[in-house]
């Protein structure tokens, strides 16, 4: 199942810089693991924002929820999910 996911990160402005660096490093490691596994095949930065657009390829809604809630930055994110379906005009 494919999902289009927009993630907007909103870290507190008063977050300790060492805590911020740690959480961002853990986020990068976790996201790259999911990319290598093929569960997160596309990841794009939105210009001028601390946001991204991603495509996830997972087996279920529950798996997507588990992966997203496992993101170290999850508590600081606004996330919007759109399930995707094959378009009938798509060339194979």
Q: CA-based Rg of the chain, rounded to a whole angstrom?
A: 14
pTM comes to 0.92
Please say if the pLDDT value at position 92 is more than 90.
no
Domain 2-84: what homologous superfamily? Dimeric alpha+beta barrel (3.30.70.1060)
44-71 confidence digits (pLDDT tens): 999 999 999 999 999 999 999 999 999 9
Interatomic CA distance for residues 21 and 8, integer angstroms: 18
Q: What is the pLDDT of residues 22-36, one digit of tens each?
A: 999 999 999 999 999
Residue 40 is predicted with a pLDDT of: 98
Query: CA dist 49 to 7, 10, 28, 52, 90, Å?
Result: 10, 10, 17, 8, 31
The residue extents of the domains of the chain are 2-84
| Residue 89, both tokens | 């005009």
Q: How far apart are CA 59 and CA 27, in angstroms?
A: 22
């Amino acid at each position: 199942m494919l999902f289009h996911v927009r993630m907007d990160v909103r870290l507190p402005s008063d977050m300790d810089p060492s805590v911020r660096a740690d959480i961002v490093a853990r986020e990068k490691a976790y996201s790259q693991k999911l990319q290598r596994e093929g569960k997160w095949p596309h990841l794009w930065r939105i210009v001028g924002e601390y946001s991204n657009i991603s495509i996830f390829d997972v087996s279920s809604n529950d798996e997507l929820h588990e992966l997203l809630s496992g993101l170290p930055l999850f508590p600081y994110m606004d996330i919007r999910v759109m399930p995707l379906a094959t378009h009938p005009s798509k060339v194979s």
